[in-house]
Amino acid sequence: MPTGESPHRRTGGRIRSEDARAAVLTAAVELVEELGYPAVTVEKVAARAEVAKSTIYRWWKSKAPLVMDAYRTVVEQRMPAPDTGSAAGDLTAFATALYGVSAHPLRARTLRGLMAEAQLDPDFAELFRAWVESRRAVVLDLLARGVARGELPPGADLEAATDRFFGLFWYRLLVGHRPLDPAEAAAHTAQLLAGLSGSQPTSVGVSADGELG
């Protein structure tokens, strides 16, 4: 260490760097929720965060990874993995928080916009899928804990159950034919878990009179 240099100086630099990174992530989320993904630029993020563009490019090579990194961070903060002690409680808590986006129109619009961008831009789609997988991993873990506790059968198809869990959310969010009502989270969770209650999948056929059976 050079003569006269305080041991706190290096730590202070690290703190300033962490503060700048946090400011950039916050600015990116604010702008994408206010303006929509297409209107966000690195220049606008830098101005909002009060940092130089070069500071942003030290950590992210372009707008896409910056926005998705920022969005991943804020969603994990807004929706941490619950631990109520049961699969039903955990999934209900998570679904309640998930459906709660309906009370935040800008957040709902942002999710629709990010999904739309993922259909148009293959490079962005890769980043978006990685974020989706990170959220699926939370639900998969909640279900796996249910299996470990004996609440769900060991042969349950947790991947398919996770798809059904999020499928209802995305379908209602994107199509808008029915509301995303947090009050329905418990009922939807019960329906999902009921479908996993059997150790073997039940085959569904159609009888001569057209009835399922």
pLDDT for res 151: 96
pTM score > 0.95 for this model?
A: no
Count up the domains in the chain and report the number: 2
Which residue pairs from 40-43 have beta carbons closer than 8 angstroms and sit at least 24 positions apart in sequence? 40/67, 42/66
Q: Which letter does DSSP use for residue 39 in this model?
A: G
pLDDT for res 210: 37
- The domain spanning residue 123 has which CATH number? 1.10.357.10
Do 55 and 97 belong together in one domain? no
Q: In this structure, is residue 203 part of a structural domain?
A: no
pLDDT for res 9: 37
Do 84 and 183 belong together in one domain? yes
Do 132 and 47 belong together in one domain? no
Do 92 and 159 belong together in one domain? yes
Amino acid at 155: G
Q: Mean pLDDT in runs of 10 for the chain (213 residues)? A: 40 69 97 97 98 96 97 96 97 98 97 97 96 98 97 95 97 96 97 78 36 34
- The domain spanning residue 45 has which CATH number? 1.10.10.60
Q: In this structure, is residue 27 part of a structural domain?
A: yes
Do 39 and 84 belong together in one domain? no
Domain containing residue 88:
79-198
